[in-house]
Amino acid sequence: MIRRWMTALVAVGLVAGAAACSGPSDGTSASAGASAGSGTSNTDPIVIGVLLPTSGPLAGTSTVYTSIVKALGTSALPGTSTIDGRKVKVVLRDDQGTAAGTASALRQLLDGDKAEAIIGPLYTGEATAALPLIKQANILSIAMTGCPDCGDGTKFPTTFSIESDRPSQMTSTLDRMAQVGAKKVAMLQSDDPTGQAYGDAFAAAAKAKGVDIVKTVHFAPGALDLGTQAAQLKSSGADAVYLATAVPTDVANAAKALKEAQYEPYMFGNAAAAVTVVAEAAGPEWSTKWAASGYGKNTTRPNPAPQAAAYGKKVASISGEAALAAPINLSAGILDGFNLIKRAVEGTHSTDGTKLAAWLVKNGYPDGIKANYTFTDTRHNGMRAEVQALVQPGTLEGGIPLRAGESG
């Protein structure tokens, strides 16, 4: 069974090709890759560190990622057990969903676990805490957030993001608003760094398009009762609402409050707006008026990429069919992140962050599950606007949602 999966995954590009070559000469510190490529063989495992919030208020958001993280380096995900001839050791650390927790967890990965590359974190505030430490260590990191600095190759040259930046999501969002005839737009914004970043990006794009935001309403992250905010949005008379938050439970709570207020406008948001808990809160009829941005077009219907369909089957084999109740676009970022690291290390025979970054800028990752990732010296967000799609909640088939406004 494993052999057949290995063949299938390699054939569609799910797992980057491996080559048994010389590794770095010293695996004893996070920045040891600076001496890599010297020709001295390193038989120590290559340590890949992963940052996720497995405890705290954001713990629920990491569930769809952790099963894939745990499968990395094992036969459950063929092709991930070695990098450049070295065995893979994956270490998952809990960042607690906070900046302080992220800094502490990252220090453990760098100093205690001797991680040579990092995947994560998931959110802007946590990434902001991680970026300076990553830069100081000069190791490659693949962020799971499109935070403003995560894709800034000038500020943080060894950090790359498998997500789109916030501004690139707004063109398709505003185009869809125009298609459905939305004239008045309001915004519901979470008072956290992620909400601020999405809010700023949407406000700037709306202004450039001549779209007036008639009302911006704020809420505290994790708030269960958004009745007051729903009433304010309803009174604005907006026929479309943009959700500036990336936490699915916050989006679901907003949907519940708006329904209770008997206010069901067109709704727009990022990838969090298309997960199952949101579709259930909105219900099947209102869900048709929702659209979520930031999805890799590869992982959407009606014509998903072959590697995305194959990955959906692999998710089911690892975690059961129930796992496909979440869009595969989310957890696919883990495997795409791993393969970016694998390709760069095997392409350079090094774990030096500067060398790996230069290789990724030159070569990208054409066969990613989510997208054809490309980078420049200054743009380290791999998902350009043209490889993204808006999707409709409640349309998952095999973990793959339908693009908004399309059928199939």
Q: What are phi and psi of 203, to 5 degrees?
A: -60, -45
Q: Where are the beta strands (DSSP E) in 116-244?
A: 117-119, 140-143, 159-161, 185-190, 213-219, 240-244
Category of 12 on φ-ψ map: left (φ > 0), alpha (ψ -120 to 50) or beta? alpha
Give the pLDDT score at 35.
34
Do domains 2-165+303-388 and 181-288 share one topology? The answer is: yes
Secondary-structure class of domain 2-165+303-388 per CATH:
alpha beta
Give the pLDDT score at 323.
80
From residue 50, give the alpha-carbon distance in Å to each of 24, 78, 116, 136, 152: 20, 19, 11, 18, 21
From residue 395, give the alpha-carbon distance in Å to each of 2, 60, 176: 30, 22, 18
Pairwise CA distance, residues 216 & 194, whole Å: 16
Topology annotation, domain 181-288: Rossmann fold (3.40.50)
Pairwise CA distance, residues 252 & 266, whole Å: 15
Pairwise CA distance, residues 310 & 313, whole Å: 5
Q: What string of pLDDT tens digits covers the 408 residues of the chain?
A: 333 333 334 433 455 543 333 233 223 233 333 334 433 367 899 999 999 999 998 898 888 899 999 999 999 999 999 999 999 999 999 999 999 999 999 999 999 999 999 999 999 999 999 999 999 999 999 999 998 899 999 999 999 999 988 999 999 999 999 999 999 999 999 999 999 999 999 999 999 999 999 999 999 999 999 999 999 999 999 999 999 999 999 999 999 999 999 999 999 999 999 989 999 999 999 999 999 999 999 999 999 999 999 999 999 999 888 788 889 999 999 999 999 999 999 999 999 999 999 999 999 999 999 999 999 999 999 999 999 999 999 999 999 999 999 886
From residue 9, give the alpha-carbon distance in Å to each of 125, 248, 261, 313: 34, 30, 48, 10
Q: What are phi and psi of 186, to 5 degrees?
A: -120, 170
Chain centre to alpha carbon of residue 183? 31
- Residue from 318, 351, 373 nearest 25 by CA: 351
pTM: 0.84
- Residue from 290, 302, 213 nearest 259 by CA: 290
Give the pLDDT score at 29.
31
Q: What are the residue boundaries of the structural domains of the chain, listed by start?
A: 2-165+303-388, 181-288
- Tally of CA atoms within 13 A in the half-sphere of 389 that contains its CB: 23
